[in-house]
Amino acid sequence: MSSFLIKVHSRCNLMCDYCYEYNCGNTSWRAKPREMSWEVYTRAVDRVLEHAEKHGLKDIFFSFHGGEPLLRKPDFFRRAVYRAREIFNARGINIEFGMQSNATLLTEEMADTLNELKIGIGVSLDGPEEIHNEFRIYSTG
C-alpha cells in the first residue's frame, strides 16, 4: 500500500442529494472534529513513514480529501507538504500529493498554492452542467 487518503476536513460546503456521508441516514459526521488537527496529521505522517520503511517503499502518495479539503487555508497545505517532504525525503522516499475537491472554493490564491506545492487536483463533476447543478446544492441552500 503506497497511496493514502488524508481527510483534512470532515465538512463540505455542498449538500449533494446523493452524498453517502451527509444525506443517506448516517449522522456520525456531526460528532467528528471539523478539521484534522496538526497533531493527528503529524502522527499520520509518522505512521505512513513506518509503513514505508517496513515495506521498503520508495514512493508514497497522499491525497488530501474531505468533506471538502478546500475548507482548509493555503497555510495548512504549505505546512503539511513541507513537513511530509522533509521527513520522507530525508529517508530517501519520494512523496507526491493530490487532492479531490468539488472546486467551488478554488480561489486564485489557493490555485497558486497548489501549483507551488505541486499538489494535483481532481475535480468531482456529475456530468453536463444541467445535471451537475441539479444535485449539487450549497449547504446554505
Match 517532504 to its residue by C-alpha cell: 85
Q: What percent of the chain has pLDDT over 90?
A: 70
Q: Assess whether pLDDT exceeds 90 at residue 134.
A: no
Q: Where are the domains of the chain?
A: 3-135
Query: Is 47 in a helix, a strand, or coil?
Result: helix
Q: Assess whether pLDDT exceeds 80 at residue 63.
A: yes
Cα–chain center distance at 90: 24
In the chain, the amino acid numbered 106 is L
- pTM summary value: 0.88
The CATH code belonging to domain 3-135 is: 3.20.20.70
- 72-125 pLDDT tens trace: 999 999 999 999 999 999 999 999 999 999 999 999 999 999 999 999 999 988
Query: Is 112 in a helix, a strand, or coil?
Result: helix
Question: Which of 105, 109, 93 is closest to 138 using CA atoms?
Answer: 105
